[in-house]
Amino acid sequence: MNNQRIRNRAAAVIVEDEKILLVQHHKYDRQYWLLPGGGVEFGETLADAVRREVWEETGLETAINDLIFVSESIPPDGHRHVINYYFSVAITGGELKLGDDPYLCDVQWHRLDDLPHLIVFPNVVRELQEWLQSETREKISLGNRWE
């Protein structure tokens, strides 16, 4: 029986003035960009995880809007399994600054048309571009429904 666990990661899609906010990681001799976000803690809603992670990584306060899409990250050797939840997010306060995580090496606004030229993990650039260009951005998350 496999005792490894699925990691749930909640991420923020923050777009302002035709720019998107990304954080850069340096891990395993690689540098790449990610949407701000991170692991969901037990008992924490996805929205609360996004809010906390964005604060920790960027110093920004946020309002969480809709779930945009979900992706999985499973390498061929199966050593890990991550489910990524992407939310539309608006900035409500704070000041942009790099968080204390030792893997973080930068936080930057990038022009939307530069996205295809960046190394972004997981690679959801095409889906992000499609969502950003879509005229109908439908709500697909009902949030926490526990009663």
How many domains does the chain fold into? 1
10 vs 71: CA distance, rounded Å = 11
Residue 55 included in any domain = yes
Range of the domain at 76: 7-133
Contact 25, 103 (CB under 8 A): yes
Q: Residue 65 domain-assigned?
A: yes
pLDDT tens track of the chain, all 147 residues?
456 889 999 999 999 999 999 999 998 899 999 999 999 999 999 999 999 999 999 999 999 998 998 888 888 888 888 999 999 999 999 999 999 999 999 999 999 999 999 999 998 898 888 888 887 666 555 455 454
66 is a domain residue: yes
Residue 139 lies in a domain: no
pLDDT at site 2: 54
Amino acid at 27: K
Tell me, what's the pLDDT at 77?
Answer: 87
pLDDT of residue 75: 85
Q: Domain for residue 2, yes or no?
A: no
Residue 79 sits in a domain whose CATH number is 3.90.79.10
